A and B are shown apart, each in its own frame.
Chain A
């Protein structure tokens, strides 16, 4: 009996783990279908001879950032710009993504754009694309395969985002004694690691002291809960600065500070990374002090690269998209014109 109950519990655990994978999937399916329909509607008319057919293998639609990225790609590779886009979202499944790329090769597209789910396992399929003489452009994430197998990469530098945020903090608060707490992103994720490293290197040698650092899992709830703990432990007066690895955790921290009777942006300064709409609004409202953008709008650069590569021009192996950064005044100017 005991054994049976134990195995039931284990099953529950397994089921829950499966769920972690599948929730995103269920969410994405709807968006993916939506994405696919628009593309089909766009590419419905038969292409003229000078139309460039591009296969785009997206990771999925796991976040608002990703949706904005997909939209940017679809706009950039539109019919008006001389492209026919075949869009595929892999629901974060590396195998599905590789088979999608293989499909693109079989269809004989002119170029392939990939936002790889994982870094490894790309050698074979990239070699196939190379022997079919189809250039491959990587977007956002990169691969571990040899550089010879793809034409170029365009994406963001998480560490530079951290550096940018840290430099501003050092400039503003570095000369006075500043006690800082950190709301980390999901433990072990690349943006969390790189942003932390970049920020730490930028504030080295200043009077900013990190008194505590915990993970808020990139969520509002997490950010709020961790911030409440900080406030209970150090008090509103014991904390001068919050560095949150994304906007959502920063927004949670705002709630926690307000609930404890403090004024976010005044009593406790807040620096975040991402620049999504809600974050920018909080910046305009004076509740956040500085936001470094993590730009999902990589479409234009990717489209540009595809054209250059097909025209036989030389391109670099890597293009870092410059992230902007906003203080409160700058945010007020741009908030209405921002597409995401």
Chain B
């Protein structure tokens, strides 16, 4: 019973169910093969392809914990991909480690600046987070298109390609990148007081300020982290196809990130957040993406399929639905012999209608 009460129980249950259903429907879903000392297969692909969404959702978790939201992450990804690939494309030696390092550092710094801009608007000027980050969301892709001159920039650069397509021990580099970032964020937030302070700002900014918490700095930092992580996500995304596609890189990823954060049990009301929950949420979203393919859902129906599964997952996790479930099972046990008003068919049907609404 304590296991049922654990806040990660339902998110994990949703993910496990999804995987199990997939494996039963198509055993190839879980097939992993060894080739040249590296692992290949759909589960490995899911771990690798999760990287951009994972980084973005991690930043989003922190921002949401402060009662904010960051809609600009997709645009920041596009900018960072555009910056890094343009630097590499313009350099005389695209394949050198030095060039790639410079490109990555500059792109991440640009993303950090964009995050700082968001944070400035929200924490210093007090603009509503949705509006503040909407500015960059709208303008960002324009900036990215300006950088690439409206074209899709492509490069050939082995070190850059390694980020998303390379392998370290057995598994893809991109997987290790997100694991490392998750570990760092978790350590900083949970092993210091920062996590608690972030939650207190999210739960009640005014009370925390009166209690001496510097909420401005904490909120600002959350947006900077979100921008920074979106920048890294943009680099991994660009490395995936070795192309900076400003129109499509990270398109709508902000909404999938919000979805992943919520699936992981973090409330959009701010306050308490769960990094492990976000990790589970992202894996659920990515797995769902692959499910559509492995089930062979026709493209015209796939958005509906996605929506239905998401609705089910959200319902399964809803505390209110749990409460109803408990109440319903309790009522069943009590046997339905309780008094009904015998005032005619009209009242009976009205009562019945009421039941249906309650159900």
- B42 close to A27 (CB less than 8 A): no
* Binary interface encoding of chain B residues 257-274 relative to chain A, with 1 for a CB under 8 A from any of its CBs, else 0: 010000000011100000
The A304-330 residues at the B interface (CB cut-off 8 A) are none
- Measured between alpha carbons, how far is A26 from B146 in the docked complex, in Å? 10
The B99-148 residues at the A interface (CB cut-off 8 A) are 130, 134, 137-139, 141-142, 145-146
Binds A, one of B84-92, B199-207, B293-301: B293-301
Our pick among B29, B35, B240, B254 for the contact of A16 (Cβ within 8 Å) is: B254
- Judge if A232 is at the interface, Cβ distance under 8 Å: yes
- Judge if A95 is at the interface, Cβ distance under 8 Å: no
- Measured between alpha carbons, how far is A122 from B302 in the docked complex, in Å? 34
- Which residues does chain A contribute within 8 Å of B42, judged by CB atoms? 229, 232-233
Judged by DSSP, the binding face of A is helix
Size class of A's contact patch? 35 or more
A212, closest chain B residue (CB): B296
B300, closest chain A residue (CB): A187
- Judge if B17 is at the interface, Cβ distance under 8 Å: no
Our pick among B145, B267, B293 for the contact of A214 (Cβ within 8 Å) is: B293
- Judge if B96 is at the interface, Cβ distance under 8 Å: no
- Measured between alpha carbons, how far is A26 from B135 in the docked complex, in Å? 12
- Shortest CB-to-CB span from B194 to chain A, Å, is 25
- Measured between alpha carbons, how far is A225 from B130 in the docked complex, in Å? 30
Total cross-chain contacts (CB, 8 A): 136
- B146 close to A13 (CB less than 8 A): no
Binds A, one of B184-192, B210-218, B241-249, B339-347: B241-249
- Judge if B157 is at the interface, Cβ distance under 8 Å: no
- B138 close to A26 (CB less than 8 A): yes
- B145 close to A226 (CB less than 8 A): no
- Judge if A132 is at the interface, Cβ distance under 8 Å: no
- A232 close to B41 (CB less than 8 A): yes
The A3-42 residues at the B interface (CB cut-off 8 A) are 5, 8-9, 11-13, 15-16, 18-20, 22-24, 26-27, 29-31
- Measured between alpha carbons, how far is A20 from B240 in the docked complex, in Å? 23
- Measured between alpha carbons, how far is A26 from B134 in the docked complex, in Å? 13
Our pick among A15, A29, A255 for the contact of B130 (Cβ within 8 Å) is: A15
- Measured between alpha carbons, how far is A230 from B45 in the docked complex, in Å? 12
B26, B42, B258, B293 interface centre (most CB from chain A within 10 Å): B293
Our pick among A15, A20, A233, A255 for the contact of B241 (Cβ within 8 Å) is: A255
